[in-house]
Structure 1
Amino acid sequence: MAEFLTHPALGARHGFFTRRGGVSAGAYAALNCGPRSADDPAHVAENRARAARALGAAPERLVGLRQVHGPVVVEAEPGWSDPPEADALVTNRPGLLLGIVTADCAPVLFADAEAGVIGAAHAGWRGAVAGVLEATVAAMERLGARRGRIAAVIGPCIAQASYEVRADLREAVGDGRFFAPGRDAAHFQFDLAAYCAHRLAGIGRVEALGLDTLAEEARFFSHRRRTLAGGGPLGHQLSAIML
């Protein structure tokens, strides 16, 4: 069974999936849902199908993107044969399962349950700085959502204690409140989840699961963990929401 986490704030069917409950092997074990990885495509397809079915959706209703760490948001369309390059998607169509994949970046799921509008965003630091989260809220508003009713939940991502960065990233973010001192004057610890929550100030509710993808190897894939280990294959977990 594909394992996933939820939060009551959203009021819509959703799941922040872990790496448990899939068919992939080795470094991709087990629920790798990253379609652009070097994993066996048949395994990835089965993993994504398992995740969709776990949320009560037909596998063909799971809609994804070619994520590029930018601010572009698109309205989801069923049956994309060639998904667009974007980092967030929104819909007001019942039965469409919006999915994004992450491996340290923040997955953020959105819902205005009263209006029947949902969204899903992939927010690494670049996308967050570029405004992908605000753009997702704006796209939801164009479909009838109201800012004051939108709830957002920030899923498992790399935590501040695990996220060492250099001064150039601190300068790009431009707000020192989200950085703690690092091991020396050239390094800092970045709080990605808190920064994402800050970018969403003004919507109805923002919550975070508070789970560290790097620290919990048995539950989550992590790009930084893979980098610290010297490279190699990398899997991705799925986060998804539907009306």
Structure 2
Amino acid sequence: MNAVEVNRAAALAGVSHGFLGRRGGVSGGLHGGLNVGTGSADDAAAIAENRRRATEAVLPGGELVTAYQVHSAECVTARAPFDHALRPHADALVTDRPGLALGVLTADCAPVLLADREAGVVGAAHAGWKGALAGVTDTTILAMEALGARRERIAAAVGPCIARASYEVDLAFRRRFEEADAENERFFADAREGHAQFDLEAYVAHRLAAAGVTRIETLGLDTYADADRFFSYRRATHRGEPDYGRQIAIIGLD
């Protein structure tokens, strides 16, 4: 059996966490590997086994907690596992309860894991461009503070996501960011006429720093470019594939 590949961040050393890709799962075909996306067309039993493997690789014996992600800035405080069918519509989770494995699913969007070790508070955020621009990392930090965390003690890591070299956008997309803050132009590089390349990872790191987080690590892993290790919505779209898998990032307290 292939082992689950777990990418970890030095910034979160001492906290159970991991950014997972597609290695170590049981799914086949387009979803080959560790697909954890219940919204995909993959076999339900395979998804359940992949989710179990992912949780055990990061927080053995923990209970996985995920939300119904909608590309928002909504953050929910988890005090117990959710009924999967009734899970909240949100894109970030925080907790101070040991044994809960907070998970966010991605397939090009940026997963962000956060921890205040001293307070015993952790968080996980799904930062696609919409959620990032709307402030999903800001609401996550506020929710952590409500549990006793302090932003100057929070460490954060931004995991595998689509890199600037792979993320071409149109100029209307660019204008959204520049209208929000003229300095956001620095996250774009010129591309072919009428287009630009967007650096999602750098933008998310900037939002964390602007919120007062002083220890931030970016893993620099491009989901689009590395098909052997990661699922990618954009890559699947460019290939004309009918579906795609999702990977997961998990953090929890022992």
Distance in 1 (alpha carbons) for counterparts of 2:126 and 2:98: 21
What percent of counterpart residues are identical? 57
Contact 2:161 2:222 in 1 (8 A): yes
Q: CA deviation at 1:173?
A: 1.4
Residue 88, structure 1, aligned to residue 92, structure 2: yes
Residue 9, structure 1, aligned to residue 11, structure 2: yes
Contact 1:57 1:97 in 2 (8 A): no
User: RMSD value over aligned CA atoms?
Assistant: 1.0
Letter matched to residue 13 of structure 1: S
Q: CA deviation at 1:116?
A: 0.4
Aligned to 2:189, which of 159, 171, 180? 180
Aligned to 2:32, which of 29, 32, 49? 29
Aligned to 2:46, which of 36, 43, 46? 43
Q: Name the structure 2 match of 1:198.
A: 206
Letter matched to residue 158 of structure 1: I
What is the correspondence of 1:1-243 to structure 2 with a 5 Å cutoff?
A: 1-10=3-12, 11-58=14-61, 61-81=63-83, 82-174=86-178, 175-184=184-193, 186-201=194-209, 202-243=212-253
Q: CA deviation at 1:172?
A: 1.2
Distance in 1 (alpha carbons) for counterparts of 2:95 and 2:72: 19
- Over 4 Å off, 4+ runs: none
Q: CA deviation at 1:36?
A: 1.2
Contact 2:231 2:247 in 1 (8 A): yes
Tell me the SS of whatever aligns to 2:54. Answer: helix
Letter matched to residue 49 of structure 2: E
Letter matched to residue 195 of structure 1: Y
Distance in 1 (alpha carbons) for counterparts of 2:169 and 2:246: 22
Paired residues, number = 241
Tell me the SS of whatever aligns to 1:15. Answer: strand
Contact 1:107 1:155 in 2 (8 A): yes
Q: CA deviation at 1:118?
A: 0.2
Tell me the SS of whatever aligns to 2:11. Answer: coil
What TM-score does the superposition give when structure 1 sets the normalisation length? 0.97
What 5-or-longer segments of structure 1 have no aligned partner? none
Q: CA deviation at 1:168?
A: 1.2
CA deviation digits over 1:183-222, x for unaligned, max 9?
Answer: 11x1000000000011111213111000100000000000
Contact 1:15 1:240 in 2 (8 A): yes
Q: CA deviation at 1:56?
A: 3.5
